[in-house]
Structure 1
Amino acid sequence: MKSDRAAVTAEFTRRYQEHLAVFERSQGLLAPTAALAEAAISVLEAGGKLLFCGNGGSAADAQHIATECTIRFETTRKGLPAIALTTDSSALTAASNDLGYEQVFARQVEALGRPGDMLVGLTTSGTSANVTAALVAARAGGLATACLTGRDGGEIAAGRLADHCLVVPSQITAHIQEVHIFLGHLLCAAIDDAFTDRE
């Protein structure tokens, strides 16, 4: 039992060191994240809203960040308009059935997005077809665009489909997602700071 625990502890230590190394390599994303936060705050100040989308764990992160914008992050302030496009099961299944899964987010962007809003896509690979389609639809609809991704940024980074593209320097999905939620929390903290104590 002790040897098993020792092996598990060693594995946890290895993973922890990998996690720290990815965060160290991600320091270069702090300034781009500040630029994204500034843009998102400008959208909200002008009366626009933030839309978030992603698949799997990235869908959970999209919902997490949207909720902290709408409800609160760390401080008490007014509610702010943010929508996760991953939460309406009727819309998701209807779009998948009628239009194909690649259009599940794009169709909602077309319906809910307005010029001056912002779409934030999350995809660890940068190649998720439905997130890519949503960014294209957002650009066509006059929305600002942002993407949190990883690896080499995929076609989203290569095609410059996002005004703000934050590429986490890792090949490991879990580590990319860990940095994504940290960057999302930085975004939420900046939004809190901007809107706390406003009437």
Structure 2
Amino acid sequence: MSAELRDHYDGLAESLTGLRSQSPRITRWGGVLAQRLTAGGRLLAAGNGGSAAEAQHLTAELVGRFRDDRQPFSAIALCAETSSVTAIGNDYGYDHVFARQVTAHARPGDVVVLLSTSGRSRNLIEAARAGRQAGALVWAMTGPAPNPLAEAADDALVLPGRSANVQEAQLVAVHVLCKAFEAALPAADRRVS
């Protein structure tokens, strides 16, 4: 194995070890998410680039299913709203593409999840501020702290490592969050009628 590949694997191991150490946070998030979504709240998620794909992955697992057959829950990937993203970017600037959508959609009882490997994306920081102003609970999944997105959120899952390794570990975090969410659902919401 080349030194470059070994370095990548070692970096991923570091990020995953950081993720494992935050298992109590993810379990808590799963319980809160189950409580809020079963009460009629929704999840709004956003990210840029690969983190946008992770945001879409998270919402797909909630609207569809992760493991167990159960009712669908409301979850929207704001980054997938291409007409909104391009119109807002054109009319207001790219820093506002998610904040304006959060302002339009977020309500008290909702959860906003923002994914960024750097934690420095201005459009996600603005979305965090908009989410908190709307009364939604704002969670960030980011790379190393300190970073402005983690500071702007109500709570943050902060992972060590380089950008690519953080993004790989965030996929695992999305799956673990979905597993914790489904485990926390009341029995009635686990069954499809």
The two structures have a TM-score, normalised by structure 2, of 0.91
1:143 CA displacement: 0.5
1:11 CA displacement: 3.8
Residue 119 of structure 1: aligned partner: 112
**C-alpha distance in structure 2 between counterparts of 1:27 and 1:89, whole Å:** 34
Deviation track 1:12-53 (CA, whole Å, cap 9, x = no partner) reads 344223322321233221111112212211211211000000
**C-alpha distance in structure 1 between counterparts of 2:57 and 2:24, whole Å:** 22
Please, which of 34, 38, 42 is the counterpart of residue 27 of structure 2? 34
Q: Which runs of 5+ in 2 are unaligned?
A: none
Identity across the alignment (%): 38
Deviation track 1:162-181 (CA, whole Å, cap 9, x = no partner) reads 122110011x1111011111
Q: Which runs of 5+ in 1 are unaligned?
A: 1-5
**Equivalent residues of 2:114, 2:141 under 8 A apart:** yes
**C-alpha distance in structure 1 between counterparts of 2:154 and 2:30, whole Å:** 12
**C-alpha distance in structure 2 between counterparts of 1:21 and 1:88, whole Å:** 34
Residue 3 of structure 1: aligned partner: none
Residue 45 of structure 1: aligned partner: 38
Residue 20 of structure 1: aligned partner: 13
Letter of the 2:130 partner, please give it.
A
Letter of the 2:155 partner, please give it.
H
Letter of the 1:197 partner, please give it.
R
**Equivalent residues of 1:124, 1:149 under 8 A apart:** yes
Residue 164 of structure 1: aligned partner: 155
**Equivalent residues of 2:110, 2:136 under 8 A apart:** yes
1:191 CA displacement: 2.1
**Equivalent residues of 1:123, 1:149 under 8 A apart:** yes
Compare 186-195 and 120-129 and name the one that shifted more.
Answer: 186-195
Compare 26-35 and 106-115 and name the one that shifted more.
Answer: 26-35
Residue 64 of structure 2: aligned partner: 71
**Equivalent residues of 1:32, 1:164 under 8 A apart:** no
Q: Which has the higher contact order (CA 8 A, sep 6+)?
A: 2
1:198 CA displacement: 6.5
Residue 127 of structure 2: aligned partner: 134
Letter of the 1:196 partner, please give it.
R
**Equivalent residues of 1:69, 1:191 under 8 A apart:** no
RMSD: 1.6
Residue 56 of structure 1: aligned partner: 49
Please, which of 161, 168, 176 is the counterpart of residue 178 of structure 1? 168
Residue 197 of structure 1: aligned partner: 191
Letter of the 1:23 partner, please give it.
L
Three-state SS of the structure 1 residue aligned to 2:112 is strand
Letter of the 2:129 partner, please give it.
V
Three-state SS of the structure 2 residue aligned to 1:184 is helix
Letter of the 2:118 partner, please give it.
S
Deviation track 1:119-173 (CA, whole Å, cap 9, x = no partner) reads 000011111100000010011111011000012241123xx32122110011x11
Three-state SS of the structure 1 residue aligned to 2:22 is helix
Deviation track 1:73-108 (CA, whole Å, cap 9, x = no partner) reads 111111110000011111011000101101100111
Find out whether 1:110 has 2:103 as its counterpart: yes
The two structures have a TM-score, normalised by structure 1, of 0.89
**Equivalent residues of 2:34, 2:182 under 8 A apart:** no
